[in-house]
Structures are given as C-alpha cells and as structure tokens.
Amino acid sequence: MCGIVGYLGNKNTTKILLEGLKELEYRGYDSAGLALLNGEDIEVYKALGKLENLREKTKNILNNSFELGIGHTRWATHGKPTELNAHPHSGQYSYIVHNGIIENYKEIKDSLLLQGHKFISQTDTEVIVHLFENINNKINDPKQAFKDTISKLKGAFSILLVTKADPNKIYFFKNGSPLIVAKGNEKQEFLFASSDAPLIGLAQNAIYLEDGVGGVVSKEELEIFSDNYIWSILPTSKQFAQKNGHRFFMEKEIYEQGDVVSDCMLGRVKDNEINFDEIDSSILDGINEIKICACGTSYHASMASAYLFERLSKIRCNVEIASEFRYKEPLLTNDTLFIVVSQSGETADTLEALKMAKNAGLKTLVVCNVNNSSMTRVANNTILTRAGIEKGVASTKAFSTQTVVLWMLSLYFAKIKSSLSKELLQKEIQALSQVPKVLVVNNKLHEKTRRLSKRYLHGHGFFFIGRDVFYPLALEGALKLKEISYLHAEGYPSGEMKHGPIALADPELFTIALMPKNSLYEKVKSNVEELSARDSTICSISPLHFELSDDFIKTNDRDHYMLEFFEMLVVLQLLSMEISIRLGNDVDMPRNLAKSVTVE
C-alpha cells in the first residue's frame, strides 16, 4: 500500500526520506520516488521495484543540500506499476505525492484536457497537481489555489505538494488516508509521514491530522488551516510505533480496516462499476458453479460470500472446509470455478485443495493477501486483498478485505452475466462504496464494548447467533472469542436453536445476538425470544432496541444489510479483544495457535 514521507530542515533530506520510506516498506509497494527542492531547483527520482533501486539512482546526491523533499512508495491502483505512474507527479512547476483515490478525477481531467493540460500518467494523482496549477495560473496565489484545489476533490486523499510558485514550503492535506505532521528535534525542522514509524527518533511532537485538515509549512512557521488539531507525543519505540499507538497489533488492525478496505477497492470500484484488471471476463465461460475452499476465518468470509454469489450473480455456490474437502473424494467437473481464500496463501489444507482442483483441470482463482505466496503461484488467477501485513494471530482485517473482495467479485460476475438489473447493481455498488466509512471505529462503540466486557469473563459458554450472512458472521464472532479469550463459544444459525442447542440455555449461557434491521429481523427476534424465555443472558447487537436484551449494543441505522454486517463485525472484534485483555491473555499471540498453518 502507498506510503508518504516529507522533510523540511537542515539535515540530509534525501537520506531522511529514503530511511522514512524504508520504515513504510512493510506495507508493500511496486515503485518509489522522491522530489527534492532547493529554492527553485527541483530534482525528481523515480524507480520501479524495491527501494534499493531508488537508492541506487540517488546515490550520487547523498551529500546534498536540498532544504526539503517529498517521497512516496506506490502500490499500483490507477494504472500499471511503471516509472511514469510512480509518484511524485508533476505539472509545469509543482510536484505532489498522494495516498488514496480521487473519485471525481475523470471529470476534472476532462475539463483540464479541454483547457490544454497534458497528462503523461494514467493516475488520478496527476490531475491534482494540474488542477492546482490551473487555478494558480489564474489567481497567482498558491495558498488560495491549494485550498481551492482541495475543495474540488472528492474521495480519499492525503497529499503533500511542493511548488516553485511558493518555494521552500510544503502544502499538505489529509482526508481519508492517514497523515502526520511532526516538529523535528532540530530547530526549523518539520517532517511528514503516513504512519508514525518514520518519525520515531527524529521528532517528539506530532499532529495526527484529522480528516479535512491541511496547511502549509516553511522553516519559520507551521500554519494549519483549521482549529481542529492537537499535538501528541510520538512513541519512542519502533515496536510501539508499528502498532500506531495501539496496545496490540490486533487493535491496530481492527482500527485500520477502513483504510485497508479503501485500498482494497482502489481501482476496482470506479465510475460506479466493478472491474478487476487481474482477471478476464472470460473466466465465467463454461462455468455453472462456484466451489470455495478455505479454513478458519477465511472459511467464514467464503461462507458469507456464498449467499452473495447465489443472490447477486445467480451462480450456484458451495463452500467447504479445505481439510474436509481433500479427503472426501470430491466430484470435480470443469464447469466449476474453484476459488480458494487465504490470508497467508500458505495454509497447507487450502493449498492442497487448490492443487487437487488444478490437477483435475478446473479453472482456479485465489483470493489472497500475500503476493508470491504458494497459492498465488499455483492458481490460474489471483486477486489480492491488499490488507497489508496482518500480525495478530486472530484475523481481523483479513476477514473484512476478503469479504469485500468476494462481494465485489459477486457483483462483477453479476455484471458479466447480467443477472441484476442496472438499478440493483448500482444500489449494491453504492452500498459497497460506504464500507470503508462503516469500518471506521467509533470511539463510543469501542468504549461500550470495553465496559460490557467485564460481564463476560466467565459462564459456561457463548452462543453467537444470526441468520443469512449474519450466520457466518456469528461463526467468526465465536471463533474470535474462543481464540483469544479461551472461553467456549459457538456460532449458530439462529433458526437452529430449537433443534438442540437451546437445551443449554440458562443464565450462565451468554447469547450474542446479531439482529440487523435489513435482514430477517422478525425471524431472528423470535429465535432470541425463545432463548430469553429460557433465561439465557442476551446481548443484542442491533440498530433496533430489543426489550428482552440484558445488554444492548446499538449499531447505526443503515439501509443495506452488508453495511450492518461490517459494523457488527467491528463490534464482535472489539468485544473479543476487550474480554481477552481483561482476562490478561496475550491478545496477539494466543496460546496453541500459529499465524500460518503450513502443516495438515
């Protein structure tokens, strides 16, 4: 995923920027670049591939006297990974680095083309710097031109812009993607980064910019165009910085789901259409059925997607646990598209299932987070989830990105097969586009789960119940809780209670009921009433108040069940984590578990 760094001060700018980019390397990237300025002298360096290539290109200028510079690592979204598409992008006299996506870049670009602007890249970023110059050429006021530019952009964008029209300054703005500005340890020194790791050791005080906040900095002054900011103390340890100030990697990963899902959708959802550059639409030729194999959390994401493939793409879909699939002597026919879903791409059972399908001549596709993993090397097609490295053993952002990829895929298939009306397809895409916002952790909600967690540290078990896609979500909620709290938890379809599990109901059985407004609310309600009548302790998660709840976590009133799904997902993740913390467990490395299961 993309990374941003910026520096203004008296030290070796090139070295600081390269070291900063190195700290962001773990996020993944396919090209990198720098723009270095000294007054009106500007030098730009770009390289494809690893940072070493950029370092090589800049090695002769390592003892330079550039007063400021901006740097970027790019993960290709709009346009292929090429040097031309690498950042910084330039106009006639200005340079920009950008994280995020400009949703209205096409309209802006068309209008600028008519006014004579020439573009050399395929990126959405290049339009920002041209728009800035277009406005500045008219008003000759770079600060106002920057503000006017920002006001015309839609989407997610964190940017640093430098311009010969106002040399020795860095303009910055944050919206959606993260951006931090820090006061350096030396006098007249300022630094920027898209996460705090590059700043550790170089600065102590920083502003974690809020959405909609920007400004301009020179050696003499930092001006923020808003009152909405506070100075924070940066962490001193890199390990802590890697957690972005969170207590655990799991917490950090829950909190970054909004951002990684945005990354995951970049270039795939645009202009109200779904596109996957990495697969060909002929993938569905001759296909009548989808079979998905996976394990654990990835299996739950796959289960949820089976509802979507049948409902939206109108393709028969069934999902199997990979370890079961391998030994059942499955009937494999080549009208089946065989999909495996895996965070690591290394899980032994899933990998073997994939090999079996491939050997039987089926078309194969892997939905995976790790490029160049074993599964991506075996499968005919790969879709990367772009979640970034997941360190917590309990998967969180892997699940949300997998589910989003599979939802997008079901809509892409619906488009190919014309299985949905235009209006319905648009409605789905509209809802999908809102997922990143829905995943942003609401502080009040987090606090509520923290307070509630103290009541759920004992008991003889937990039932997580839901219907439709909320059934796999219930399974995932139960898995999260048992993995890190070591409490017994099971997920059930809520309609199944009366067929056996309800025999366990008593006050020491905790029911976590997923009660979305937009999917079978009345049906789930009856199932929860049955449990309540048998004295089970009920914690309901719903936008609608439910009078029989012992505890109630109110979610927002949303107009699509999948948006409720993602909001409830965050609640379940936070609740498990808070219970685990209270129990004093190792949240990130739970007992008996490994991050990647490469044995059967």
C-alpha–C-alpha distance, residues 4 and 174, integer Å: 12
Stretch of residues binding ligand M6R (CB under 6 A), selected from 217-225, 273-281, 339-347, 447-455: 339-347
**Rounded to the nearest whole angstrom, what is the least distance from the CB of residue 409 to ligand M6R in the complex?**
17
C-alpha–C-alpha distance, residues 156 and 266, integer Å: 10
The tokens for 13 are: 């700018």
Q: 243 — alpha (psi -120 to 50), left (phi > 0) or beta?
A: alpha
Number of residues lying near ligand M6R (CB under 6 A):
16
**Rounded to the nearest whole angstrom, what is the least distance from the CB of residue 275 to ligand M6R in the complex?**
25
Binding ligand M6R (rule: CB under 6 A), the pick from 23, 196, 251, 483 is 483
Binding mask 463-482 for ligand M6R (x = CB under 6 A): ----------------x---
Sign of CA dihedral 241, 573, 258, 393: positive
Report yes or no: 516 and 568 within 8 Å, Cβ to Cβ: yes
Close Cβ partners of 79 (under 8 Å, ≥ 6 residues apart): 85, 121, 122, 123
Residue nearest to ligand M6R (CB): 296
C-alpha–C-alpha distance, residues 159 and 4, integer Å: 8
Helix or strand or coil: residue 36? strand
**Rounded to the nearest whole angstrom, what is the least distance from the CB of residue 577 to ligand M6R in the complex?**
12
The nearer residue to ligand M6R, 104 or 596, going by C-beta atoms, is 596
The nearer residue to ligand M6R, 439 or 478, going by C-beta atoms, is 478
Q: Identify any residues that bridge with 163 across adjacent strands, giving them in sequence order.
A: 94
The nearer residue to ligand M6R, 174 or 300, going by C-beta atoms, is 300
C-alpha–C-alpha distance, residues 71 and 5, integer Å: 5
The nearer residue to ligand M6R, 350 or 527, going by C-beta atoms, is 350
**Rounded to the nearest whole angstrom, what is the least distance from the CB of residue 265 to ligand M6R in the complex?**
20
Report yes or no: 170 and 68 within 8 Å, Cβ to Cβ: yes
Q: Identify any residues that bridge with 336 across adjacent strands, giving them in sequence order.
A: 289
Stretch of residues binding ligand M6R (CB under 6 A), selected from 107-115, 241-249, 338-346, 515-523: 338-346
Q: Strands 203-208 and 232-233: what pairing?
A: antiparallel
DSSP result, 232-290: EEPPS-HHHHHTTT-SSHHHHHHHTHHHHHHHHHTTTEETTEE--TTS-GGGGTT--EE
Binding mask 428-467 for ligand M6R (x = CB under 6 A): ----------------------------------------
- Assess 597 for contact with ligand M6R (CB under 6 A): yes
Residue with tokens 């070591």: 486
**Rounded to the nearest whole angstrom, what is the least distance from the CB of residue 475 to ligand M6R in the complex?**
11
C-alpha–C-alpha distance, residues 562 and 538, integer Å: 23
The nearer residue to ligand M6R, 60 or 592, going by C-beta atoms, is 592
Stretch of residues binding ligand M6R (CB under 6 A), selected from 21-29, 389-397, 463-471, 537-545: 389-397
The nearer residue to ligand M6R, 402 or 494, going by C-beta atoms, is 402
**Rounded to the nearest whole angstrom, what is the least distance from the CB of residue 598 to ligand M6R in the complex?**
10
The tokens for 176 are: 């959606």
The tokens for 31 are: 């090209």
Phi, psi of 6 (to 5 degrees): -150, 150
Binding mask 536-575 for ligand M6R (x = CB under 6 A): ----------------------------------------
The nearer residue to ligand M6R, 34 or 295, going by C-beta atoms, is 295
The nearer residue to ligand M6R, 120 or 593, going by C-beta atoms, is 593
Residues 285-314 that bind ligand M6R (CB under 6 A): 295-298
User: From the CA atom positions of the chain, what is the Rg in Å?
Assistant: 25
C-alpha–C-alpha distance, residues 500 and 565, integer Å: 26
The nearer residue to ligand M6R, 71 or 477, going by C-beta atoms, is 477
CA 391 to chain CA mean position, Å = 14
Report yes or no: 67 and 35 within 8 Å, Cβ to Cβ: no
Catalytic sites, residue numbers: 2, 595
- Assess 394 for contact with ligand M6R (CB under 6 A): yes
C-alpha–C-alpha distance, residues 522 and 47, integer Å: 57
Residues 340-359 that bind ligand M6R (CB under 6 A): 342-344, 347, 350
**Rounded to the nearest whole angstrom, what is the least distance from the CB of residue 131 to ligand M6R in the complex?**
41
**Rounded to the nearest whole angstrom, what is the least distance from the CB of residue 311 to ligand M6R in the complex?**
24
Report yes or no: 582 and 564 within 8 Å, Cβ to Cβ: no
Report yes or no: 105 and 96 within 8 Å, Cβ to Cβ: no
Stretch of residues binding ligand M6R (CB under 6 A), selected from 390-398, 506-514, 525-533, 546-554: 390-398
The nearer residue to ligand M6R, 86 or 394, going by C-beta atoms, is 394
- Assess 374 for contact with ligand M6R (CB under 6 A): no
C-alpha–C-alpha distance, residues 563 and 560, integer Å: 5
Helix or strand or coil: residue 588? coil
**Rounded to the nearest whole angstrom, what is the least distance from the CB of residue 55 to ligand M6R in the complex?**
32
C-alpha–C-alpha distance, residues 537 and 581, integer Å: 22
Binding ligand M6R (rule: CB under 6 A), the pick from 77, 262, 395, 555 is 395
- Assess 362 for contact with ligand M6R (CB under 6 A): no
The nearer residue to ligand M6R, 17 or 370, going by C-beta atoms, is 370
**Rounded to the nearest whole angstrom, what is the least distance from the CB of residue 395 to ligand M6R in the complex?**
4
- Assess 257 for contact with ligand M6R (CB under 6 A): no
The tokens for 303 are: 């289960």
Q: Is 46 exposed, middle or buried (0-12, 13-18, 19+ CB in 10 A)?
A: buried
**Rounded to the nearest whole angstrom, what is the least distance from the CB of residue 439 to ligand M6R in the complex?**
17
- Assess 393 for contact with ligand M6R (CB under 6 A): yes
What residues line the site for ligand M6R (CB under 6 A)?
295-298, 342-344, 347, 350, 393-395, 479, 483, 596-597
